[in-house]
Structure 1
Amino acid sequence: MLITIARFTYPYEAQIAWSKLDALGVPAYIADEHTINMQWLYSNALGGVRLQVREEDEQAALLALAEDLETELMQQEGFDTDLCPVCDSPNTEFYQFGKRWAFLIFLGLDFPLFPVKEGIQCRDCGAKSKIDGSK
């Protein structure tokens, strides 16, 4: 019997998770991928694209999907991460300032007039700050 371990809005997200499990030797299956490829508006109605595994592989699959290798990959590839100006943590992620206002102005005027600026958000302390190049 197959158990759904994850649901995704888009089929490519399920394919990425499936390939991670396949690389680790965990057999996995993707359900509703073709239906949502043909009619993407059905995604929410069907509960998204489902990633399924056998019952005996459930724990191994969940552990594999929960593993976050972003930091190691960035170090391996030589990317420099921006430090949080509040707590000096390198555990930051990309953040955009002004998305909400840009969306509201777009709804009202049908034209995007509000600039969106790039920044970072610290995963440790939650502080948000703008990147030097976008001030």
Structure 2
Amino acid sequence: MVVIARFSFPHEAQIAKASLDCAGIASYIADEHTVNTQWLYSNAMGGVRLMVAEDDAEEAIQILNSDFSQSVDHELVTESVKDVCPHCGSADLFAFTKGKRPAFLVFLLLGFPLFFYQHGYKCHRCGKFSQKL
């Protein structure tokens, strides 16, 4: 097995390992528990090492260096276009919490919270609140 990447923290190595697992490449994380126990030693030890078989090293490095952000951005854009205001049909919505200010005021006056607010969306065009889309 050869080291293809080094990470300062174990969770970063786990994310990279999950990417390789999805591609069908077997991998091993070395020194994960040592760094979890004594995280100050991480740099001195060379960090958490992600290892794969020599035959898979080139493909694994290529997968780890790939950028999939454009495909994620495209999915987010297509999902947000589906959300429209039920009152006017506008897609210009923003997250809004109805009743947040009165709940905060009650908390300041009484000293304990009364949770009577609602999470939802508000339309920029018509200004109406809706809980579900």
TM-score higher than 0.5:
yes
Q: Give the match for residue 44 of structure 2.
A: 45
SS at match of 1:67: coil
Q: CA deviation at 1:54?
A: 0.5
Cα distance in 2, alignment partners of residues 22 and 42 from structure 1? 28
Cα distance in 1, alignment partners of residues 65 and 43 from structure 2? 23
Q: CA deviation at 1:77?
A: 1.7
Cα distance in 1, alignment partners of residues 33 and 8 from structure 2? 13
Letter in 2 for 1:11: P
- Which contiguous aligned blocks of 4+ residues in structure 1 show a shift greater than 4 angstroms? none
Letter in 2 for 1:3: V
Letter in 1 for 2:76: E
SS at match of 1:4: strand
RMSD: 1.5
Q: CA deviation at 1:75?
A: 1.5
| Matched pairs, number | 79
Q: Give the match for residue 78 of structure 1.
A: 77
Question: Which consecutive unaligned segments of at least 5 residues does structure 2 have?
Answer: 81-133
SS at match of 1:78: helix
Q: Report the TM-score when normalising by structure 1.
A: 0.56
Q: Give the match for residue 66 of structure 1.
A: 65
Q: CA deviation at 1:78?
A: 2.2
Cα distance in 2, alignment partners of residues 50 and 77 from structure 1? 33
Letter in 2 for 1:10: F
SS at match of 1:6: strand
Cα distance in 2, alignment partners of residues 73 and 38 from structure 1? 35
Q: Which has the larger radius of gyration?
A: 2
Cα distance in 2, alignment partners of residues 45 and 21 from structure 1? 26
Letter in 1 for 2:6: R
Q: Give the match for residue 31 of structure 2.
A: 32
SS at match of 2:24: coil
Cα distance in 2, alignment partners of residues 20 and 13 from structure 1? 11
Cα distance in 1, alignment partners of residues 25 and 55 from structure 2? 10
SS at match of 1:7: strand
Q: Give the match for residue 118 of structure 1.
A: none
Alignment of 1:8-23 (within 5 A): 8-23=7-22
Q: Give the match for residue 93 of structure 2.
A: none
